[in-house]
Amino acid sequence: MSELSRQRSADPAAVEMLNLAEKEQLETIWDRLEKQQPQCGYGQLGTCCRLCTMGPCRIDPMGEEPTHGVCGASADTIVARNLARMIAVGSSSHSDHGRSAALLLKAVASGENTDYRITDVEKLQAVATRLEVTTENRSYPEIASDIADIALSCFGKQDDTPMPFTEKYLLPKRYQLFKDIEEQLFKTTGKKMGILPRGIDREIVDILHRTHFGTDADPLSLMVQGIRSSIADGWGGSLIATELQDILYGTPTVNTAKANLGVLDAEWVNIIVHGHEPSLSEKVVEMALSEEMQQAARKLGAKGINIVGLCCTGNEMLMRQGVDMAGNVLHSELAIMTGAVEAMVVDVQCIYPSLANLSNCFHTKFITTSEQATIPEALHIQFEDEHADEIARRIVNTAIAAYPERDQGKVYIPNITSSAIAGFSVEEILKTLGGSVAPLIDVIAKGTIKGVVGIVGCNNVKVKQDLYHQELTKKLIERDILVIGTGCWAIGAAKAGLMNLDAQSLAGEGLKAVCQQLGIPPVLNMGSCVDCSRMLVLAGALAAHLDVDICDLPLVGSAPEWMTEKAVAIGTYFVSSGIPTHLWPAPPILGSPEVTKILTEDIKGLLGGYFFIEEGPQAAAQRMEEIILEKRAALGI
Ligand code: BF8
């Protein structure tokens, strides 16, 4: 095994594939990172500005000239504007996904779309109750139509009242806190700053507007608007995506699947679904598993069709359908390099453009499907919800047709998988607990479990793949801290065997006993990144049960190995919801003492949550335990 490969990933399957890449001289994302060295220090600190053509400008972090951009913007202004824009982009990605789910639910409810259906009527009723939609003597489509309308109004509403999803789902104490903060900020600064989101589109456009040349230069109001946009995401766009997808495709229930590249099978037609929006992958999975398609594959000499997932689409399919997981985002190139993938089918977000050219080195059809994510050199098959069945059939047929072109001599699949239990929606967690959060609160109050950490986020090629995820997770469960989470972290944990019952043995005595009693692993997969909203809902339920605010609970958030703007939005809505949140790598804010102070110190007094940065898993776990113990002491437990 090459030392270089071992330095790049903690995952043995990835190490095998990196060795192969080295031998075959296939370029990877790790190689391209090296070619980018040294990367721009101003960019890393957040002090470069490209917002007008008088620039680009950069500010010297040591206080030497230049201390201001051409227009006079300070480092604080530049960093705040850049970060607000990151939050806006992250919020827009999750929320546009939520919009698609709302439009689809509306089309299904009206009978315009017959390719999809309302699958989970229990969830439909639960969401209706939450949103105060009348259910009595009404048909499911009528109820669904009202829910979709309310969701859609959260995007385009123009008045200044808080948007309905946020209003109805947010813990009343936190809702009131946000209102109080708005008043307090006005009193102390004389400036109008809003926290409660009026509408998703509006808060995002507001950031684009206020960060235009010569508009908002105040780091505080820029950050407050960033917070507002993130709440529009967490308690809005992402939440809408999760809730409405549960109605359409079913609320996840506990299931067991395999994770890592070994889920690919040399004798089968392998299709990987990658991206985020399950409207596509649900249909591709359904079609691929149909007898008609399986037979078509067998006719060409394959044993059948093996469909597996990657990244968040993978999580969506794992959570609801028990589909095996090929890996997290750093596995996307490596999966193609196995030479055994007939088609990688993608929709939106986290898709490396490099996958197109890499696929061309193999027989793999790299199929883009979204008008928002087309990639030169890819095969584009336009997906449309209203013709979902027909298009999914075309996609699966394209994959089957590629099978005879496979060069079996190029096939190399690492024989590595772990078994993982997934499907921990809030509903499923409550069911496991006997219908209420009370037993969980009870074991937390007794100290059997000290607290809960929610981990989210990506793989970042600057961090050894999965190492931080694995180490931090292990160190937390060792300390009797329950770990829940989503996204590429969840996949990393699944690959490392942390999501099966054997992992109970890695937990501290208290957590182990609870997990043994409930028959669950000490590390729970709550889904894709939009499903971070499930963690908010769970936190809200715990706080409501105790009649406290979320910031009073022994909860911590973390995004180790994060890289996308979506992760910044998630981190910000965790903090805004009252959850202290760890980040590594450091976000591009350190060039501004003021923004750093707002986000790591001042915000604590306002919202209860705050960011902290720790480079190593040991120090991060230690700090998280300290925060949890502090919260426990304040609660008197
Ligand atoms: O939304 S964890 S790399 S796949 S951004 Fe992307 Fe990050 Fe993976 Fe999911 Ni979330």
Query: How many whole angstroms from 357 Cα to the centroid of ligand 1?
Result: 22
Query: How many whole angstroms from 488 Cα to the centroid of ligand 1?
Result: 6
Q: Which residues, at least 6 apart from 154, have a Cβ–Cβ distance to it below 8 Å? A: 163, 164, 165, 166, 199, 200, 232, 236, 237, 240
Number of Cβ within a 10 Å radius of residue 291 = 8
Query: How many whole angstroms from 228 Cα to the centroid of ligand 1?
Result: 22
Alpha carbon distances (Å) from 333 to 18, 183, 324, 342, 398: 10, 50, 18, 14, 20
Whether residue 2 is predicted with pLDDT greater than 90 in this model: the reply is no
Question: CB of 263 closer than 6 A to ligand 1?
Answer: no
Question: CB of 86 closer than 6 A to ligand 1?
Answer: no
| Model confidence pLDDT, tens digit, residues 236-261 | 999 999 999 999 999 999 999 999 99
Query: How many whole angstroms from 13 Cα to the centroid of ligand 1?
Result: 20
Query: What values do phi and psi take at 307, rounded to 5?
Result: -105, 130
Whether residue 583 is predicted with pLDDT greater than 90 in this model: the reply is yes
Q: Which residues, at least 6 apart from 430, have a Cβ–Cβ distance to it below 8 Å? A: 436, 437, 541
Say how far apart CA 440 and CA 537 lie, in whole Å: 15
| Model confidence pLDDT, tens digit, residues 295-347 | 999 999 999 999 999 999 999 999 999 999 999 999 999 999 999 999 999 99
State the closest ligand 1 atom to the C-alpha of 570, by its place in the atom list counted from 1.
10
Whether residue 542 is predicted with pLDDT greater than 90 in this model: the reply is yes
Q: In which residue ranges of the chain is CATH 3.40.50.2030 found?
A: 261-410, 420-635
Question: CB of 564 closer than 6 A to ligand 1?
Answer: yes
- How, if at all, do strands 581-584 and 611-613 pair? parallel
Token output for 600 = 């790591």
State the closest ligand 1 atom to the C-alpha of 566, by its place in the atom list counted from 1.
5
Query: How many whole angstroms from 301 Cα to the centroid of ligand 1?
Result: 35
Say how far apart CA 550 and CA 540 lie, in whole Å: 6
Q: Is 633 exposed, middle or buried (0-12, 13-18, 19+ CB in 10 A)?
A: exposed
Query: How many whole angstroms from 91 Cα to the centroid of ligand 1?
Result: 13
Question: CB of 488 closer than 6 A to ligand 1?
Answer: yes
pLDDT of residue 1: 67
Query: What values do phi and psi take at 522, rounded to 5?
Result: -80, 0
| Model confidence pLDDT, tens digit, residues 100-145 | 999 999 999 999 999 999 999 999 999 999 999 999 999 999 999 9
Question: CB of 457 closer than 6 A to ligand 1?
Answer: yes
Question: Ligand 1 pocket test: which of 274, 312, 317 has the largest number of ligand atoms within 8 Å of its C-beta?
Answer: 312
**In this structure, what DSSP letter does residue 529 have?**
G
| Model confidence pLDDT, tens digit, residues 419-442 | 999 999 999 999 999 999 999 999
Question: Ligand 1 pocket test: which of 242, 311, 532, 570 has the largest number of ligand atoms within 8 Å of its C-beta?
Answer: 311
Hunting for tokens 């809200």 — which residue is that?
A: 540
- From 3.10.20.30, 1.20.1270.30, 3.40.50.300, 3.40.50.2020, which CATH number describes the 75-171+197-249 domain? 1.20.1270.30
Query: How many whole angstroms from 319 Cα to the centroid of ligand 1?
Result: 16
Say how far apart CA 153 and CA 329 lie, in whole Å: 33
Alpha carbon distances (Å) from 85 to 206, 436, 526, 541, 568: 10, 39, 28, 31, 10
Question: CB of 486 closer than 6 A to ligand 1?
Answer: no
Query: How many whole angstroms from 65 Cα to the centroid of ligand 1?
Result: 38
Global confidence as pTM: 0.98
Dihedral of CA 493/494/497/499: which sign?
Answer: positive
| Fold of domain 420-635 | Rossmann fold (3.40.50)
Q: Please, which pLDDT band fits residue 160 given cuts at 50, 70 and 90?
A: very high
| Span 154-167, average pLDDT | 97
State the closest ligand 1 atom to the C-alpha of 93, by its place in the atom list counted from 1.
1
**Of all protein residues, whose CA lies closest to atom 6 belonging to ligand 1?**
350
Query: What is the identity of the amino acid at 514?
Result: V
Q: In which residue ranges of the chain is CATH 1.20.1270.30 found?
A: 75-171+197-249
pLDDT of residue 61: 86
pLDDT of residue 474: 98
| Model confidence pLDDT, tens digit, residues 465-520 | 999 999 999 999 999 999 999 999 999 999 999 999 999 999 999 999 999 999 99
State the closest ligand 1 atom to the C-alpha of 350, by its place in the atom list counted from 1.
6
| Span 182-200, average pLDDT | 97
CATH of domain 261-410: 3.40.50.2030
State the closest ligand 1 atom to the C-alpha of 328, by its place in the atom list counted from 1.
8
Q: Which residues, at least 6 apart from 303, have a Cβ–Cβ distance to it below 8 Å? A: 265, 267, 268, 297
Say how far apart CA 193 and CA 607 lie, in whole Å: 14
| Model confidence pLDDT, tens digit, residues 615-633 | 999 999 999 999 999 999 9
Query: How many whole angstroms from 363 Cα to the centroid of ligand 1?
Result: 26
Terminal-to-terminal C-alpha distance of the chain? 50
Dihedral of CA 491/249/383/154: which sign?
Answer: negative
